[in-house]
A and B are shown apart, each in its own frame.
Chain A
Amino acid sequence: MLNIDLQYFAQLQDAAGRAHEIRTTSAPTAAALYDELRDVYSFALEPACMRVAINAAFSPWEQPLRDGDHVVFIPPVTGG
């Protein structure tokens, strides 16, 4: 099992009802972790319209997670 440091923004933060959590998971990748979280929080956003940041860098969805990783799922950005 891995301990993952999760931070939520925008719609995901509202749906999760929190900005931050440390989650113990067996999900091997960010993609699998997002699937797991969708079951918990009913996230409406499809991964196809999002990106993921691992340790504050954009990363592939299939990158293997390591214990202690900081993960942020990035909803469609709307700055400017």
Chain B
Amino acid sequence: MADAPVDITTLRRVLLVPEAGGFCAFEGWVRQTNDGRAVAGIDYSAFVPLARTEGQAIVQEAKQRFAICHATAMHRTGYLSVGETAVWIGVAAAHRDAAFSACRYIIDEIKQRVPIWKKEHYATGVTEWVPCHTR
């Protein structure tokens, strides 16, 4: 959990292990529209202690389910403008199949389980909590 932009190169470097032959990353960005409404930015809030333990549990699950060497995840809190990176997942594995699958697993579980909430700020000045995920 990070309350300021994180250097992606630093996150990625942790995953560079000699056993790995493939690396897969997913980045979630703030998009300029949601449900047809123009978005200026998103304010992310989190229950940080639980978000951290739940995120670590998800990464551990991914390591047990898939043949990967290493995985890491980062999620932002605070106000992010369109184009900023809200979430970053990186997975290193011997082969690509496991890297892709684990990366997908981690982002899907984060979206379902980790106590993080987004309040969208629309271009009109209106703000609204996003009620639930539209996949």
Given A77-B112, A77-B117, A78-B118, A10-B107 contact (CB < 8 Å): no
Chain A residues within 8 Å of B, Cβ to Cβ: 7, 9-11, 14, 49, 53, 56-58, 72, 74-80
Interface size range on B against A: 20 to 34
Question: What residues of B have a CB within 8 angstroms of the CB of A77 in the complex?
Answer: 111-117
Question: What residues of B have a CB within 8 angstroms of the CB of A7 in the complex?
Answer: 47
B25 at the interface (CB under 8 A from A): no
B 81-96 binary contact with A (CB < 8 Å = 1; else 0)? 0000011000000000
B37 at the interface (CB under 8 A from A): no
Question: What residues of A have a CB within 8 angstroms of the CB of B45 in the complex?
Answer: 9-10
Please tell me if the beta carbons of B116 and A14 are within 8 angstroms of each other in the complex: no
Chain B residues within 8 Å of A, Cβ to Cβ: 28, 44-47, 49-51, 53-54, 75, 86-87, 107, 110-119, 129-133
A56 to B131, CA, bound (A): 23
Please tell me if the beta carbons of A56 and B75 are within 8 angstroms of each other in the complex: no
Tell me the smallest distance from the CB of B3 to a CB of chain A, in Å.
Answer: 14
Question: What residues of A have a CB within 8 angstroms of the CB of B28 in the complex?
Answer: 80
Tell me the smallest distance from the CB of A61 to a CB of chain B, in Å.
Answer: 16
Tell me the smallest distance from the CB of B97 to a CB of chain A, in Å.
Answer: 23
Please tell me if the beta carbons of A57 and B50 are within 8 angstroms of each other in the complex: yes
Of A14, A49, A72, A80, which one neighbours B47 at CB under 8 angstroms? A72
Closest B-chain residue to A76, C-beta based?
B132
Closest B-chain residue to A10, C-beta based?
B117
Please tell me if the beta carbons of B46 and A79 are within 8 angstroms of each other in the complex: yes
Question: What residues of A have a CB within 8 angstroms of the CB of B46 in the complex?
Answer: 9, 79
Please tell me if the beta carbons of A79 and B53 are within 8 angstroms of each other in the complex: no
Q: List 7 A-B contacts (CB under 8 A).
A: A9-B45, A53-B47, A74-B47, A76-B131, A79-B114, A80-B107, A80-B111
Please tell me if the beta carbons of B47 and A78 are within 8 angstroms of each other in the complex: no
Tell me the smallest distance from the CB of A20 to a CB of chain B, in Å.
Answer: 12
Choose among B28, B87, B118 the residue with the greatest number of A CB atoms under 10 Å from its CB. Answer: B118
